[in-house]
Structure 1
Amino acid sequence: MKRLLVFLLFLSFYSVFSQTKVGGIILDEFGDPIAFANIIFENSSEGTITNDNGRFYLESDNTYKTIIVSFIGYETEEIQLQQKVNYNMEITLSESTEQLKEVVVYTGKQSKKDNPAIDILKKIWAKKRENGVRKFKQYQYDKYEKIEFDLNTIDSALIKSKLFKGLEFVFQDLDTSRITGKTYLPIFLNESFSRIYGDNIINEEKEDVLGNKNAGFSGNQSITAFVEDLYSDYNIYDNYLKFFDKSFTSPLAKTGVDTYNYVLSDSTFIDNKWCYNIIYYPRRTNELTFKGDFWVSDTTYAIKKINLQVTKSANINWVKEIYIEQDFDVVNDSVFLLTRDYMLSDFSFSKKEKSRGVYGKRTTVYDNYEFDTNRPEEFYKAESDPYDPRVFKRDSTFWKNARLERLNEDESGIFKLLDTLKTVPKFRTYYDVVSILGSGYVEIDKWNIDIGNIYSVFGFNDAEGTRVRLGARTYFGQNDTWRLEGYMAYGFTDKKAKHGFSAKFLLDRKTRLIVSGGNRRDVEQLGISLTSTNDVLGRSIASSSLVTVGANDRLTNINLSTLNFEMEPAKNFRIRFGSSLRTLSSALPNAFSLDYIDDDSSTGISSEVKQFDINTTFVYTPGKRTIGYGVERVDINDDHSTILFNYTKGIRGFLESDFDYERIQFSYRQPWQIGGFGRLTSSIELGKTFGEVPLSLLSVVPGNQTLFTLYNTFPNLDFYEFVTDTYATVHLEHNFNGRLFSRIPLLRKMNLREIVGLRGAWGQLSDENIALNSPSNIPLIAPDKQIYWEYSFGIGNIFKIFRIDFNFRGNYLDNPNARPFGVTGTFGFNF
């Protein structure tokens, strides 16, 4: 979640002229706020619903004289508007004295017989349809998208603060949000125009990006990747809508009647089609739900307009508001086409009404649909280049024609504002500080070098004691086709200097042919991962933890040199072929011996291994999205599966290599979104080594003696407690995202999240390998009699940033120094 950290750090630094604006609070006769009351401009389909605190804001491009305020069980009020702008209104509703005839409201499970809104909902389910473009053999349409970020809740105190001294000019043109009524200052805008082509017969689709233009922090791909991940596509007809890695129950879902209350509110003509208006709001608090309303056609029962607003009590961090609007063109009984999609998110450290934050807004407009134009399959295979320089250099004439929705005055001014801001030293200082804290690197533009990573400067382990490290990398831009990187380190106990350096070169952009290599001489905790790669700059957290459990003294001196070639012949399918030369020895021989029987040694025993390997790795990551085209790309999403197959061949004699052996390894990791029940992460790893090898080359079941929760490790195992040459492991971890705790009154407001885990490992160690490694001073045990297993219960979202796990060992309790119970934790910024 580093991109989220960048964004939150940025938070800490901080239209079209509407004709009618109203805002205020709706109260009952006792002065208590009424949540989910309906406010609508008279004789229109423009309206909104009060939030959990009874507050509302509504504006329109048209001029209206009256608003209608209503809620089930209360008298409907018509409020005359004295002027075009009416803020801080206080409206009181009286309890209704008449028996409601159309809708019967229940506090428990809702009746499906007596509620006309439920009857309409059933017809929506019966005629549930897929997007109209799927109804044709081929399709084509234009897509215009603009993404904007704004500082919000701008008041006089902020303008006059020392933070913005010398930057007062940026506040000259403030406007108010039509959704929340808050003042805002635009700071970032990205526009893109694409043409989408699809063929439903061969199941192919491609997007030609024809234009891209941005203003703001366009050079920071971390922010850009965060934006891309934030605004993923969704279909309101699905049972669950995924935002911020969480599944919200759709108001159109068949399970919606158990989650929402529905009220038939109004009916009117929209685009010459008679439509019903249905208001919905959640039955319970703290669940991942929406409130809002939708308009549905009375003949096709297709949604014409819908808005969705996440309730403030929803168990989601750092986001105060989420508001969504979608408009559709209902073509006929079986076809609808999405014409406009709008989403606003209000990011803030606090959900308090007056807290400052940043709006993230995405508007997508679809037009110029064409159908049934047959194109050859080669047309879809020929992908366009979204990073073609011409895409970013379109002139004003192009954008005048491409904008399917024109920019308002504020949006047009962003380009000029940011050009001015970049010349102000104080603003540049703010930006540099945020960039350093987010990326971990200090940029030296004059030399095209970054100094860092600042988060790895200090460390501690039993072999080195206190350790310091300082590194640097070349950096001309985020799409560099080559990069050099290195570090120097020093341990104050062993009084030894360490180093690592690497070089990467992108030789062919189309196939992503990359050659890389380097050398690392350091102290490392091996065995923390079964299918780890030979990273000459990598370092496990287990090698530098300030606090550990038990004796963390099984460390290894490593001198590693690598040369690798990598290419991506197909999207998300990578092939890596490489070689490595390693020299391995114990960093603390008295506590941890890597000795093995060596007939060629004068003593019959050797303590050091020199090994040359060649390896071939296949990695397939379906659904993975990246940004950038340089030698190092930025990942956008983490909800994709990863399939890895690795073959390693050790060659004895070459470069004085000691052993002949072969190893095959397979791993599969898959995240699963289980509807409204949270997210399950599963992984399986299999491997086998053929041939006799010393302890330093065997497969160690990954233990974890740190206090950090590390996925794919066993927190109740010590390092090297289980050693194998044949293994299989399974890890399951499910995060319920607060679904259970939200039903417990005492815990509901704490927004805690429950996590459960189950882990297992099985392995064997041959008699030949046991005999070869018999001089070692640690037990050589494999979990071959029965599967070793652990389980854990965790509580997440403590103070929004901390997670604690209680880990239990299931068996092998008679192993030396076995740990039956342990506690681990981790910090992180998660939605």
Structure 2
Amino acid sequence: MRTILLFILFGALQSTFSQTKVGGVVVDEDGEPVAFANVLFKNSYEGTITNDNGRFYMESDTTHDTLLISFIGYESQEIPLTKKVTVAMRIVMLEASEQLNEVVVYVGKTDKKNNPAIDILKKIWAKKRNNGLYMFDQYQYDKYEKIEFDLNTIDSALMKSRVFRGLEFVFNDLDTSRITGKTYLPIFLNETFSKVYGDNVSKLVKEDVLGSKNSGFNNNQAIIAFIEDLYSDYDIYNNYLKFFDKSFTSPLSRTGVDTYNYVLSDSAYIDNKWCYNIVYYPRRKNELTFKGNFWVNDTTYAVKNINLAVTKSANINWVKEIYIEQEFDVVNDSVFLLKRDHMLSDFSFSKKEESRGVYGKRTTVYDNHLFNKANPKEFYKAKTDPFDPLVLNKEDSFWEANRLESLNKDEKGIYKLLDTLKTVPKFKSYYNLVSILGSGYVEIDKWNLDLGEVFGVFGYNEAEGVRLRAGARTYFGQNDPWRLEGYMAYGFGDDKVKYGFSAKFLVDKRSRLILSGGNRRDVEQLGLSLTATNDVLGRSIASSSVFTVGSNDRLTNINLSTFNMEMEPVTNLRIGVGSSFRTLSSALPEVFSLDYLDPLSPTGVSSEIKQFDINTVLIYTPGKRTIGNGVERRNINDNYSTLFLSYTNGVKDVLESDFDYKKIQFSYTQPWQVGGYGRLLSTVELGKTYGEVPLGLLNAIPGNQTFFSVYNTFSNLNFYEFITDTYASVHLEHNFNGRLFSRIPVIREWNLREIIGVRGVWGELSDENKVLSGPVNIPLMAPSGTPYWEYSVGVGNIFKFLRIDFNFRGNYLNAPDARPFGVTGSFGFHF
């Protein structure tokens, strides 16, 4: 859903006051486009390569009079430039009739052996950990970052469209991209200045944000988190570069020789250093690869500059173009440091050349390096708050002194433009629509209140029938030290009102000590998770699914009250202690019973469970990144592991609690990037309950009777099909991101993505617990003899938003109502 936001609101690209602009198309003698041709201003190293359609566009701050065009197997062309702007060129390449003795020409797929370019590449591999910042024990530097968004392909039709009626003034200042040649309209700008400190010996890094400024969206956490995740840091020397949740093979990767063709194209002095120029382009279509070239020094084998352009056929959605430039500065004879990093993304619904879209651009400049100045470990623990008002409200004099790259006239105008737009009712309506889609809440600024979530208004299950829900939360800003939230719902089938409310207070920012509590009275499907819910506002997808496989009638009435205390003494290590009191009963007792033997009951059987628990939780999420410093923070990445450890002590007789028991649970979730073969997500869960407890307090193996693919559930199990007091489960799901389908010519162009999954569980249920839950009207089975397992094969990215999984049950096929095969799906807008 967040991907759509870009097409509604944003765009970005810096323009420059260029002296020379060139653009056009390169074709062969038959008129076919020549992709990956080298385009260079003569007597310079300013250049680019043509895209898949043979097109190019380039600008320079210097005046040039000659353009050089070259490509393997063709004769090089020198094109005189008689004007400063020449943007409709058509250049015809002739096949090479002869080749010079000293030049080796490669046509099509280049040789992996006897190739001087690959010999140089191997030396880059050997030296890459001895270059740049890795050469020093400690380092520090200044970092200035600009992130911009622009609407692109602005033409008269767009200006006159109903969307911009009343907003025509925004088109007064338009410019042209120096990379694509398209007219664009800047509408968003964010600036950040920080100091970065690092210690290669202890592998510690600290970034202190000293100033942050943007053009009006500083209070929208969803948009800011999306931008932060969109432009995460990368290192071209790594084997794989992550953009938009996809891993692209780096041209400097050790696996690059199997992914790219390399050609030693040229050599020249750059900043008094002799450098080689290597052109690279992909060996196959539809893989996550780049095309471009780089200059590398002949002694240190450090990269001097590099450009990377994602190929048009790459299996990525909503992104028509990605272009990256990195420039490295020569500090002395052997030290090459990253000086400037520029990344342009062209977001669009279509990859057609004429399609409109949104530019997103990040420019990062580095300067004022200082080396081998040691700091104590405590220094790295103390970090500034990037959302501190003192950081956000820096005066203009601060930015004049600390901008490592000055703003041009268009960028300076963005702040003024956004201030004006925010006063225009039509723009405010557009902004509110984007905010609702991104956060799921309707903002009522004058009340400091959000209404929602809008996506949970309607639901259905067999106990409640049609269900309507309305909720609200307080929201003053992303750094709110407290938050109140609540909802009310009504079921037209059972004619009952449900509700939930919660309160959270951030008592201490340094340790992130949070006190929270609340109450919920609702209908819930508890058979979708191994961990008992303590979220007073949570609700599983199975509780409201309109369509299900079989009868979704094993639902529970829950009245839950909680009080919790949580702190984060170390970054990403959360420790929580709390208590809860639950009252559980069947929502449909005629078909699903939670009865248990109770000698104190007049009938010897009780149908309601009252339980008081004391719970201790430890959650460790190494590598997780968040924004905000309030009581609620938003995650901005998903490539971190999660370790969860819980100890629950059930106490009898407190508040008429029914049972004494102890429960320990552990889970470990880890995403793995398997080189260029996609992403593997793995989860291991273990748990054991000590003491005699009835069905409502045991662990139901998570089934799934919905038509949605839900990770960490068993798609071919019914709810409560397996009940355990001791369990161990494993879930593995691998998304190849189209790696396999890209090798099949017939379906290659569809950009489908293949997903496979395997999952299994073993568990036991003691005889004592079986006897205690004897009155229930469902079979009490555990997969104790042989672990239950199933597997799935899925196809994703169907029509760019749909995923379908085909699920197969591996065993226990003779169980009552066993489902040997099923189809589930999910949808969403993913890159």
Secondary structure (helix, strand or coil) at the match of 1:527 reads helix
Q: CA 1:376 to 1:119, structure 2 compared with 1: closer, same or farther past 3 Å?
A: closer
2 CA distance for matches of 1:206 and 1:424?
Answer: 41
Q: Which residue of 1 aligns with 2:610?
A: 610
Deviation at 1:233, TM superposition (A): 1.6
2 CA distance for matches of 1:111 and 1:432?
Answer: 54
Deviation at 1:312, TM superposition (A): 0.8
Secondary structure (helix, strand or coil) at the match of 2:128 reads coil
Structure-to-structure mapping, 1:157-306, within 5 angstroms: 157-306=157-306
Q: Which residue of 2 aligns with 1:50?
A: 50
Q: Which amino acid aligns with 1:636?
A: I
Residues 517-574 of structure 1: per-residue CA shift (max 9 Å, x gap): 1111111001211125411111100010010001111001111111111111111111
Q: Which residue of 2 aligns with 1:326?
A: 326
CA contact (8 A) 2:526 2:532 kept: no
2 CA distance for matches of 1:396 and 1:449?
Answer: 32
Deviation at 1:86, TM superposition (A): 1.0
Residues 135-158 of structure 1: per-residue CA shift (max 9 Å, x gap): 222211111111111111111111
Secondary structure (helix, strand or coil) at the match of 2:750 reads coil
Q: Which residue of 2 aligns with 1:651?
A: 651
Deviation at 1:226, TM superposition (A): 1.1
2 CA distance for matches of 1:511 and 1:564?
Answer: 15
Q: Which residue of 2 aligns with 1:587?
A: 587
1 CA distance for matches of 2:258 and 2:438?
Answer: 42
2 CA distance for matches of 1:334 and 1:79?
Answer: 37
Q: Percent identity?
A: 72
Structure-to-structure mapping, 1:343-742, within 5 angstroms: 343-742=343-742
2 CA distance for matches of 1:596 and 1:229?
Answer: 49
CA contact (8 A) 2:6 2:358 kept: no
Deviation at 1:133, TM superposition (A): 2.2
Deviation at 1:218, TM superposition (A): 2.4
Residues 460-512 of structure 1: per-residue CA shift (max 9 Å, x gap): 11111111111111222222111111111111111111111111111111111
1 CA distance for matches of 2:404 and 2:585?
Answer: 65
Residues 291-350 of structure 1: per-residue CA shift (max 9 Å, x gap): 001011122221100000000100001111111111112445753211111111111111
Q: Which residue of 1 aligns with 2:3?
A: 4
Deviation at 1:16, TM superposition (A): 2.2
1 CA distance for matches of 2:308 and 2:798?
Answer: 28
Secondary structure (helix, strand or coil) at the match of 2:446 reads coil
Moved more, 44-53 or 442-451: 442-451
Q: Which amino acid aligns with 1:217?
A: F
Secondary structure (helix, strand or coil) at the match of 1:745 reads coil
Q: Which amino acid aligns with 1:105?
A: Y
Moved more, 375-384 or 717-726: 375-384
2 CA distance for matches of 1:740 and 1:722?
Answer: 36
CA contact (8 A) 1:103 1:116 kept: no
CA contact (8 A) 1:187 1:216 kept: no
Q: Which amino acid aligns with 2:111?
A: Q
Structure-to-structure mapping, 1:753-772, within 5 angstroms: 753-772=753-772
Tell me, yes or no, if structure 1 residue 128 matches structure 2 residue 146.
no
Deviation at 1:11, TM superposition (A): 6.1
2 CA distance for matches of 1:203 and 1:478?
Answer: 31
Secondary structure (helix, strand or coil) at the match of 2:434 reads helix
CA contact (8 A) 1:471 1:486 kept: yes
CA contact (8 A) 1:11 1:348 kept: no
2 CA distance for matches of 1:505 and 1:54?
Answer: 58
Q: Which residue of 1 aligns with 2:799?
A: 799
Residues 24-60 of structure 1: per-residue CA shift (max 9 Å, x gap): 1111111111111111111110111110111111111
CA contact (8 A) 2:10 2:150 kept: no
2 CA distance for matches of 1:137 and 1:217?
Answer: 39
Q: Which amino acid aligns with 1:361?
A: K
1 CA distance for matches of 2:753 and 2:637?
Answer: 22
Deviation at 1:243, TM superposition (A): 1.3
Moved more, 753-762 or 99-108: 99-108
1 CA distance for matches of 2:560 and 2:332?
Answer: 66
TM-score by length of 2: 0.98
Deviation at 1:7, TM superposition (A): 3.4
CA contact (8 A) 1:461 1:544 kept: yes
Structure 1 gaps, min length 5: none
1 CA distance for matches of 2:127 and 2:695?
Answer: 64
Q: Which residue of 2 aligns with 1:32?
A: 32
Deviation at 1:372, TM superposition (A): 1.7
Deviation at 1:116, TM superposition (A): 2.6
Residues 410-460 of structure 1: per-residue CA shift (max 9 Å, x gap): 111111111111111111111112212222211222222221111111111
Aligned residues: 827
CA contact (8 A) 1:16 1:409 kept: no
Q: CA 1:203 to 1:254, structure 2 compared with 1: closer, same or farther past 3 Å?
A: closer
Tell me, yes or no, if structure 1 residue 75 matches structure 2 residue 75.
yes
Deviation at 1:134, TM superposition (A): 2.5
CA contact (8 A) 2:10 2:359 kept: no
Deviation at 1:823, TM superposition (A): 0.3
CA contact (8 A) 1:300 1:332 kept: no
2 CA distance for matches of 1:778 and 1:795?
Answer: 35
Q: Which residue of 2 aligns with 1:105?
A: 106
Q: Which residue of 2 aligns with 1:829?
A: 829
Secondary structure (helix, strand or coil) at the match of 1:191 reads strand
TM-score by length of 1: 0.98
Q: Which amino acid aligns with 1:306?
A: I
Q: Which amino acid aligns with 2:98?
A: E
1 CA distance for matches of 2:334 and 2:698?
Answer: 61
Q: Which amino acid aligns with 1:795?
A: V
2 CA distance for matches of 1:522 and 1:811?
Answer: 35
Tell me, yes or no, if structure 1 residue 142 matches structure 2 residue 142.
yes
CA contact (8 A) 2:469 2:488 kept: yes
Moved more, 403-412 or 748-757: 403-412
Structure-to-structure mapping, 1:804-823, within 5 angstroms: 804-823=804-823
Please, what is the CA RMSD of the aligned residues? 1.5
2 CA distance for matches of 1:561 and 1:7?
Answer: 40
2 CA distance for matches of 1:204 and 1:561?
Answer: 42
CA contact (8 A) 1:6 1:222 kept: no
CA contact (8 A) 1:9 1:438 kept: no
Q: CA 1:602 to 1:9, structure 2 compared with 1: closer, same or farther past 3 Å?
A: farther
CA contact (8 A) 1:458 1:466 kept: yes
Secondary structure (helix, strand or coil) at the match of 1:676 reads coil
Moved more, 73-82 or 599-608: 73-82
Residues 569-607 of structure 1: per-residue CA shift (max 9 Å, x gap): 111111111111111000111111111100000000111
Moved more, 100-109 or 126-135: 100-109
